[in-house]
Chains A and B, each alone.
Chain A
Amino acid sequence: MNGAYLDLVRAHAPLLMIVAPLVGAALTLVSGLARLSWVVACIVGGVAAVIGIDFALAVFSAAPPAIAEVGVAIYVDGIGAFAGALMALTLTFVLVAAGATLKEAGASAAPFNVALLLCAAAGWIGALMARDLAAVFVAVETAWLAAVGLTAVNAVQARAPLNGALRMLSLGGVGAALMLLGIGLLGRAAGSFEIDALPLAHISMPSVAGAGAALVLLGLAVKAGVAPLHAWSAAALGRSSGVVSFGVGVLAVLGALSVMTRVSAYTITAPELGAAISAALAGLGAVSVIVGSVQAVGSTNLLRLAAYAGVSQAGCVLLSVALGSPAGFAAALMQLVAFAAAGLALYGGAAAGRVQALDRLDGYAQRAPLASAAITAGALSLMGAPLTIGFLGRWRLVEAGVGAGWWWAAGLVIIASLSGVFYGGRLIERMYFRRANAAYEGEGGLWRAALAPALLAAIVGIAIGVAPNALLRAAAAASQLLTGLAT
């Protein structure tokens, strides 16, 4: 009996991964109470994470499961399964950590916060599993608008997030319009609006298709905060609360990068489009690495520093994707894991003490040792210190790049790591070698412990670089599985 239910769940796993957060969002709104909504959200997030990880393991096994037909066109490829599981897992930790910062925007806003987090996650997971490009568009915009709403709702203690939300809306809206046009052009040129048809389609108008693909990726690049399209990130994240940092800085950017990776995997492998898309992504990635690194070095705000570091990491992901090879996609997936871990570490560590300006980090190690350890781990990962997931992701990129003759990609990785030494070293020095100049301002009492799982998960995720075999195998399997599983 239990086995039958389990099989049923597995058969509907992709749909459940999308629907569960949506249902959870509705339930949290209905519950009305801050802590109750948080508990419901954590449970839902955990369920989605378990389903996602189980499904991903099944997909990468020798006998991939069959997916039930449910009316909505779902197409699960390796990248979708890997990134979907990663999104669900990250969502769980974000929701748990949000418990420590839930009431910063007021108790009445708390149910909306968790509901918007769940909606955003549902959108990104939906975009990773959708078959139709229009469905991808709807899912992406759903997630993005939820993120905008999250930013705006939490602009209570500071009004700067409102400006950030405006920029997100403006840039995101432009990106959405361009993406819509791109979908139209791509669909017209390829003769199909289904994503899995692109690699095998006979593209009658390559330039039109190329323009369409570029516009779609451009629209996604805006959401991913890739330079030079990242004008929203500093304003939205610089003075944001913990919930916004997690929801936008980690979840939204991770989701957008994942969807970009997935869409690129199909457009790059299309013979008529591959070279142009690869060049465009490589250029964008290079600019993002350099701009993000420079801005992170010059930043005096911890949240903006983390945002700019994320821009640099996004650039490395795009460089990996631009290679267009299974090794490149595997490297991109590893770097997505590294991004999630570093984001949780930095934003979680900042949220623990409500740290925004860098000088408030002075003596942080004495006030919040676990948060300091998490920030240190994040900084080491961004530096590319050996035995961290950050080093592993960059090494895989360099390995794949050198194999393809892209020696300049190795140079960019070195730039990213060098800049990580400067801004990461600054963080470590402030936390451990300066006297505290501010009292601890984090959430008091028991709820302070809500951040601990996220911080510990981040540290473990970063330290997984010591023994990454399982992750490496999963990423390799995911990158090979572009043929996917269809309903």
Chain B
Amino acid sequence: MTPEFALYAVLGAPVLQALLVMLVPKPPGLRDLIHIGFSLLGAIAAAYLVSAVAHHETARIVLAQPLPNVDLAFTIDPLGAMMAAVLNGLGVLHAVHAAGVARAKQERAPARLLAFIALAMAGVTAVAFSANLFSLFVAYQALALAAFPLVAHRGDEEARPAARAFLATLLASSIGLFLPAMIWTYAIAGALDFRAGGMLAGRVDALTANILLVLYVMGIAMAAIPPMHRWLPASSNGPFPALVAIQALAVLPAGGIGVLKVVTFVFGPGMGEAALASQLLIVLVGIGMIVAALIALSKQDIRERLAYSCMAQSLAAVMGALLSLQPGSFAAAGLFAAALQILALACAAATLLMAAGTTAAITGRTTVADYAGLGRVMPWTFAGFAIASASMIGMPPFAGAWAKLWLITAAAGSGLVWAAGLAAAAAILTFTHLGPLAANALAARAPTDAFKRPDGASILLAAPVILGSGGYIVFARAGRSARGLLVADLDRGGGPMSEQRKTPPPRSGVTGVLFVFCLAALIAGLAFDLAGGVRVRFWIGDQPGGRRCRWRGPSFCSWCLPGRPRALCWGDGIESQKGRRWKLTLNPGFGADHRRVADPGDAAHGAFADDRCVSARGVLAAARSRVRRGWRDGADGTAGRSVQTR
């Protein structure tokens, strides 16, 4: 694999993925396999590009030449590669989660949902790898158009005006503000290619630089800078997989990446001519962060609360980018803070939204008040929720803490101590709207009527959450490497980042701290339950009680066959009334007509009816019967008869 091929792959795979998913909407198993497989392919290609960049390889591809001196080109650079790798990596988890939620909630048009999620990922990847302003503009618009169907997905009376607000805000700001700025830049610089040190460096006076900065920053409405932030709360009514794509993995990060690229490659770090506008924008952004955090506190719907929380975090990234325009030696620190903040936000927001999606799918609960005690019956999901909340708040040792530390360093070093104060205030307010929520979910008494689905959350829904939160561990460990990779790109003047002494690096041993933290939370929860007389079985999927597979003989996955998906179970095949055995249950589908509901009482005896673990003979009989009957509606496993066990 060459870097050029990997670049084509990372850009083209999501497009092909979308096409195939639309062409093959059924069987749902195959559709989901395609979706997850291509996401994995994109992530592998993106990871390869990080490695290529680390080895100082370069690649540039030109897809079209629509204008003289202007190419639609994409190139690899450390910033873009890092962003694409993290976002595509999280995209794999999201792909798994989206498949699970689409089935669990019986989303309408799941193929369309997954296809546009893939296209949105293609858009943000294109933004990350854009080689010039024109490519950035094209990728930005393409992303807005690809994300629009996600907001409009439900097609109801709430979705339509939300979708209109979404598209109108993003496109209008990009055409009305970003495009004139781009044209102006073209008139000044004669070209639109990104240049290290800034395209406009030494070419513009202070007035022009300030006006251009305002046009660019306001024109990139995906960064949710007030007053161009309307689209974000408007989009919060969409399905949860769409919310993850919009707020965590595609649209919001694209805004941050866009601002970062413009500041880095159009203006250049330390461009003093734009200092005035950057300070005014920092004030706006800082106030926006605080107000967003306050609004989040007032919201009872978890989606709206997380939307405003993500907005506050995105504005922190913009603040970091704007701080880099202050003259002085701390410019690159601001850029690094912004980059790290974007990545930390992606991890945190994805985890939080996936956790909320799992909760909504399994319990039907979407208000903050209803989250109390849910962590006791969904320990894995809410462990991830808690870790992600801690990162959003900026608690060490999670990635979000280091981003905020760098942000404060950059602000203080640039002489804008008040900016550091604004960031700190926003962090405190973030704690107020996320901290008690996460703690209450774990500490309050477990509700007895939590689950609307008796079998709880499958591994499809729970695993991505906990693996997403595991991204903080990766980051904490890899932060040093990331900084090393980005230093060469962002800090060309031998500034503080090269010295690596200005801020404390992530400590080693953080994995141990994290493990102790999670274990402590879980043990505390279990202790409360045991003291209260409620028995909790701890399975790798979030389950209301213990479930064991009653089966006879070997079984195999009939996931891809028509009909309701079946569980893949393996073990010793013997139902034990006494012992509790750990079993891996891969349960991709949920029947609407389970006839036996497991309750905690059953868990004590370990007896339940599982009509989803079937024998080989049973599966073949089901397949023959299905072929005879033809395709039925609900073959995605959300309706239809169960196949009887022998």
Contact = CB atoms under 8 A, between A and B. Distances in A.
Contact of B175 (A387, A421, A432, A472): A421
B163 A433 contact: yes
27 contacts: A383-B171, A384-B175, A385-B141, A385-B145, A386-B141, A387-B66, A387-B72, A392-B66, A398-B183, A402-B183, A411-B180, A414-B179, A417-B175, A417-B179, A421-B171, A421-B172, A422-B172, A425-B167, A425-B171, A429-B160, A429-B164, A433-B149, A433-B155, A433-B163, A466-B64, A466-B66, A467-B64
Interface of B: 64-68, 72, 134, 137-138, 141, 145, 149, 152, 155, 159-160, 163-164, 167-168, 171-172, 175-176, 179-180, 183, 186-187
B66 A429 contact: no
A323 B531 CA distance: 84
Residue of B163, B167, B168, B175 with highest tally of chain A CB at under 10 A: B175
A434 B168 CA distance: 18
A421 B141 CA distance: 11
A467 B164 CA distance: 31
Contacts of B149: 432-433
B66 A418 contact: no
Given A421-B172, A467-B66, A386 B138 contact: yes
Interface in A384-438: 384-387, 391-392, 395, 398-399, 402, 410-411, 414, 417-418, 421-422, 425-426, 429, 432-435
A384 B155 CA distance: 26
B171 A433 contact: no
Given A392-B66, A395-B67, A433-B149, A421 B167 contact: yes
A422 B168 contact: yes
Given A418-B176, A421-B168, A386 B137 contact: yes
A294 to B, nearest CB: 15
A386 B66 contact: yes
Contacts of A395: 67
B138 A387 contact: yes
Contacts of B145: 385
B100 to A, nearest CB: 25
B152 A418 contact: no
A465 interface: yes
A466 B164 CA distance: 27
Contact of B172 (A399, A418, A435, A466): A418
A386 B134 contact: yes
Interface residues of A, number: 31
B72 A472 contact: no
B180 A410 contact: yes
Interface string A453-478: 00000000000011111001000000
A425 B67 contact: no
B158 to A, nearest CB: 12
Contact of A402 (B68, B137, B164, B187): B187
Contacts of B138: 386-387
A389 to B, nearest CB: 10
Nearest to A398: B183
A269 B152 CA distance: 51
A434 B161 CA distance: 12
B155 A418 contact: no
A422 to B, nearest CB: 7
Q: Describe B's contact surface by its main secondary structure.
A: helix
B396 to A, nearest CB: 43
A414 B178 CA distance: 11
Contacts of A417: 175, 179
A418 B176 CA distance: 7
Given A392-B67, A398-B183, A429-B160, 17 more contacts: A386-B66, A386-B134, A386-B137, A386-B138, A392-B66, A399-B186, A414-B179, A414-B180, A421-B172, A425-B167, A425-B168, A426-B164, A429-B152, A433-B155, A433-B160, A467-B64, A468-B66
Contacts of B141: 385-386
A433 B152 contact: yes
A467 B65 contact: yes
A428 to B, nearest CB: 8
Contacts of A385: 141, 145
Interface string A58-102: 000000000000000000000000000000000000000000000
A357 to B, nearest CB: 18
A385 B175 CA distance: 9
Contacts of B186: 399
Residue of B141, B152, B179 with highest tally of chain A CB at under 10 A: B179
Contact of B66 (A383, A402, A465): A465
A435 B179 CA distance: 34
A472 B176 CA distance: 26
A418 B179 CA distance: 11
B183 A410 contact: yes
Contacts of A466: 64, 66, 72
A469 B155 CA distance: 40
A472 B163 contact: no
The 4 closest A-B pairs by CB, nearest first: A386-B138, A433-B152, A421-B171, A466-B64
Residue of A384, A418, A434 with highest tally of chain B CB at under 10 A: A418
Contacts of A411: 180
A413 to B, nearest CB: 9
B73 to A, nearest CB: 13
Contacts of A433: 149, 152, 155, 159-160, 163
A432 B153 CA distance: 10
Contacts of B72: 387, 466
A376 B107 CA distance: 26
A392 B72 CA distance: 13
B169 to A, nearest CB: 10
A383 to B, nearest CB: 7
B129 to A, nearest CB: 16
Contacts of B155: 433-435
Contacts of A426: 164
Contacts of B68: 472
B163 A429 contact: yes
A434 B164 CA distance: 13
Residue of B141, B163, B186 with highest tally of chain A CB at under 10 A: B141
A395 B180 CA distance: 11
A414 B167 CA distance: 16
Nearest to A391: B66
Contacts of A465: 66
Contacts of A435: 155
A395 B72 CA distance: 15
A212 to B, nearest CB: 37
Residue of A384, A386, A468, A469 with highest tally of chain B CB at under 10 A: A386
A469 B71 CA distance: 12
A395 B66 CA distance: 10
A221 B214 CA distance: 39
A387 B142 CA distance: 10
Nearest to A417: B175
A247 B184 CA distance: 40
Contacts of B164: 425-426, 429
Nearest to A476: B68
B133 to A, nearest CB: 11
Nearest to A403: B187
Nearest to A426: B164
Contacts of B167: 421, 425, 429
A270 B141 CA distance: 42
A473 to B, nearest CB: 10
Contacts of B183: 398-399, 402, 410
A429 B163 CA distance: 8
Contacts of B137: 386
Contacts of A418: 172, 175-176
A410 B184 CA distance: 10
B160 to A, nearest CB: 7
Nearest to A363: B155
A469 B175 contact: no
Contacts of B160: 429, 433-434
Contacts of B134: 386
Contacts of B179: 414, 417
